[in-house]
Structure 1
Amino acid sequence: MTPSEVLDRLRREPDVDAPDLVAVDATDRLLLDTAGDALAGGARVVVVDDAYGALTLGAVAAGATDVRVHQDLLVGERALALNAGRTGLAGRYRPGSLDAGLLDGATLVLARAPKGLDALRELTELTAAAAGPDVVLLVGGRVKHMTLGMNGVLGAGFTEVSATLARQKSRVLVARGPRAGVRSTFPRCRHDAALDLDVCAHGAAFAGTRVDEGTRLLLAALPGAAPGARTALDLGCGTGVLAAALARARPDLAVTATDQSAAAVASARATLARAGLGRVAVLRDDAAGSLPDDSVDLVVCNPPFHVGAALVTAAADRLFTAAARVLRPGGELWAVWNNRLPHRAALRRLVGPTRAAAHDRRYTVSVSTGR
């Protein structure tokens, strides 16, 4: 099967779907075309943040025989596995964590340009430190989302950084010549004086070591949340700030934190360990899928409102549905969301009676009672 035939068979399943969301885009195709000769020539390939398998399976179809892959999002891992089975390429790649072991001896790294510079910085540092001296790092993205700052980040780890010509509004940055002495500086931790908490973050963790204003509004409201609760879930935990606040304020509360992002889970574990809250269970899980029905008294959630660059509500609705499933009857979901979004109606429909507990000019904290 040719790379083009492989790409034509890929699907987003089991991720959410919406208009303009696709399994393969122009950036995937440009990255594969840019890497074509190296893939056919036996490169030791590492793929990072392949959304649904286009880069991994495209590389295998192009002739690569040693392909390692890291996907931050669990839904991406599952989509890749389904697409590998759909194309007959199951077992032709090796998944792994984003660490020195993944990059060890790599000669070609294919990566989708991340949203934040810290995620690119962590990848750059790991690649320069652990990959082979002849490694080529290719970072592809939509032109409108790529900045000169990316060149600067790559230049801190590599002696030569260039860019391909744009094609179908996508471009690839090419980095060669890893600099000597580069080491990973992640996770990074910063003390938040208002919370008296060291917030730790890997590069791809949402908001990094910063605590966003929506989370702060929810934190201020949480003392009134489900006073009789014995179990709590931080659903989509990010760096673990909400879980840390609950566990510190209520020592008798059994707290679990879940997120589908590998970077978030590693960050939350670092934040909680630094706070002496190792008793909090942190799980990499998609929409609390490993938790049983009717098992939690309190759920707290600051849901995402983007899927990639698209503004959609489907990702939040999945988390609200998950909260409804794991909540015991009468349990409470405390969520914070942007006032522009129509979440109140969705919460009433998916979870139960919903009221506002706090709000400001940008955010609302809502309380929904499970049926």
Structure 2
Amino acid sequence: MDFSFSALRRFPDVEAPNLQAWDATDELLVQRALAAGVSGDEIAVIGDEYGAITLALTDAGLRGIRVHQDLATGRRALAHNAAALSLGGFSSHELDASLLGGARLVLLQLPKALAELEEIVDAVARWAAPDVTLIAGGRVKHMTLTQNEVIGRSFEVVQPQRAERKSRLIVATGRRDAPAQPPFPVAAEVEVPGLSQPLTVVAHGGAFAGARLDIGTRVLLEALAAERTSGLGSQLRRNGQIPPSPRRNDADPHNSSGVVPGASTAPRHTSTSPTAASTTPGTVVDLGCGTGVLAATYALTHPDARIIATDRSAAAVASARATMRANGVDDRVTVTHDDAGSEIPDAAADLVLLNPPFHLGASVHTGAASRLFAAAARMLRPGGELLTVFNSSLGYRRELSATIGATEQVLRTPKFTVTRSVRR
């Protein structure tokens, strides 16, 4: 095999000298797949971050390969790399029967989360061919014995292979019958700052924090609830640096976000502040929405707001849509699978809510947050606001000031900081 893995790019994901678009695990998975002698239309590839596995197999002459990538950035990188290398003969799918039906060989880059692995392996057992072989791989330093146990719930034989170049493969055979009820999505009632009743949070296995309220989101919600309760606006506004945000015509069902405003037909919650809606911006974006906790809470406390929740993870998007339905706000919140809100028009948002990640895959890297700050700057109208929560040690305030505009600290806890940035 003479496929040039080094020709692959991560674009449009973050690119840096210490980040590459493939690793030894990709190469090992490709080698095992070629040795298996299975036709391309019987192969499913899951977790192929930037297309290394799919394109190497396609380059080797296999056709009809089905691929599932959770991240929108990965899907776009695969398309870019395929075009650059003039390769085709594969199709993209969600994690469902269209991906796995009749598959006799499934290649998997192991995910970080055990819950995500459980959902994937259950899907393989549920829809793949009875004689399917699952070959999962990862970097040794990130692998655990518990991963073997999770795979063993759906396969009778789980055989870890000898490590090569700091990567290891796990070969699973003997597919077990899948249970009648899939393990995901799961739902939980969660106490959320600013709501008088619990919020129903729904989560697929690959969604960050699962059906829980992560601590950063909690702190951001505390800041929003405190501001509603106090009735105070931005310190920047009180200092006279910018005018208050104008209200848009909420009666107009047509707007740049594509969201049709309107109250929920069966609201389950009430706001803690009876005047909360009076300060509602026209269009609010939950950027990197995860399971949709911020978007759902904002919709419940600001019934006139038009809200877009967007995330690059397909698992997060499916979770957020289910969370909106469970809380009766799916008619007022549009959820999109997108890369850093790229489909939202420039200067279309009045308020952006953001709890940015500080990891790229298994690497700690601030590049993901920087991309989202730049995205917020693009989509905010002049005078619009970005509310951000981040680990205080990261010190994003200077970057926010440079990228967005004047930035103030709204709330600080021993671990997290919430800031408000006003688009210049």
Normalised to the residue count of structure 2, the TM-score between the two structures is 0.84
Distance 1:264 1:273 in 2: 14
Distance 1:42 1:312 in 2: 36
Contact 1:39 1:59 in 2 (8 A): no
Q: Give the equivalent residue in structure 1 for 2:82.
A: 84
Q: Give the equivalent residue in structure 2 for 1:261.
A: 313
Q: Which moved more, 1:6-15 or 1:275-284?
A: 6-15
Distance 1:63 1:232, change over 3 A: same
Distance 1:213 1:178 in 2: 38
Q: Do structure 1's residue 170 and structure 2's residue 167 form an aligned pair? A: yes
Distance 1:32 1:368 in 2: 46
Letter paired with 2:390: W
Match of 2:344 among 281, 291, 301: 291
Q: Give the equivalent residue in structure 2 for 1:272.
A: 324
1:122 is displaced (CA, Å) by 0.5
Letter paired with 1:268: A
Contact 1:43 1:108 in 2 (8 A): no
Q: Give the equivalent residue in structure 1 for 2:269.
A: none
Q: Give the equivalent residue in structure 1 for 2:149.
A: 152
1:194 is displaced (CA, Å) by 4.4
Match of 1:212 among 208, 214, 226: 214
Q: Give the equivalent residue in structure 1 for 2:396.
A: 343
Structure with greater Cα Rg: 2
Q: Give the equivalent residue in structure 1 for 2:15.
A: 17
Q: Give the equivalent residue in structure 1 for 2:106.
A: 109
Q: Do structure 1's residue 190 and structure 2's residue 188 form an aligned pair? A: yes
Q: Give the equivalent residue in structure 2 for 1:55.
A: 53
Distance 1:173 1:276 in 2: 43
Q: Percent identical across equivalent pairs? A: 49
SS class of match (1:182): coil
1:65 is displaced (CA, Å) by 2.1
Distance 1:40 1:158, change over 3 A: closer
Distance 1:66 1:333, change over 3 A: same
Q: Do structure 1's residue 99 and structure 2's residue 96 form an aligned pair? A: yes
Q: Give the equivalent residue in structure 2 for 1:7.
A: 5
1:43 is displaced (CA, Å) by 6.2
1:41 is displaced (CA, Å) by 5.2
Q: Do structure 1's residue 235 and structure 2's residue 279 form an aligned pair? A: no
Distance 1:124 1:100 in 2: 13
Letter paired with 1:110: L
Kindly provide the CA deviation profile for residues 111-154 of structure 1, in whole angstroms up to 9, marking residues without a partner as x.
11101001110111010011001111111101111111111110
Kindly provide the CA deviation profile for residues 256-311 of structure 1, in whole angstroms up to 9, marking residues without a partner as x.
10111111110000011000111211011111111111111110000111111111
Kindly provide the CA deviation profile for residues 221-266 of structure 1, in whole angstroms up to 9, marking residues without a partner as x.
1133773512100000000000001000000111110111111110
Distance 1:350 1:194, change over 3 A: closer
Contact 1:205 1:264 in 2 (8 A): yes
SS class of match (1:287): coil
Distance 1:182 1:128 in 2: 9
Q: Give the equivalent residue in structure 2 for 1:66.
A: 64
1:62 is displaced (CA, Å) by 3.0
Contact 1:305 1:311 in 2 (8 A): yes
Distance 1:260 1:41 in 2: 31
Question: Any stretches of 5+ residues in structure 2 without a counterpart?
Answer: 234-278
Contact 2:38 2:104 in 1 (8 A): no
Letter paired with 1:60: T
Distance 1:20 1:4 in 2: 24
Normalised to the residue count of structure 1, the TM-score between the two structures is 0.96
Letter paired with 1:218: L
Kindly provide the CA deviation profile for residues 62-111 of structure 1, in whole angstroms up to 9, marking residues without a partner as x.
34222001111111011101111122213x10101111221111011111
SS class of match (2:20): coil
1:180 is displaced (CA, Å) by 1.7
Match of 1:130 among 127, 138, 159: 127
Letter paired with 1:326: M
Letter paired with 2:220: L
SS class of match (1:290): coil
Contact 2:154 2:178 in 1 (8 A): no
Match of 1:202 among 204, 207, 210: 204
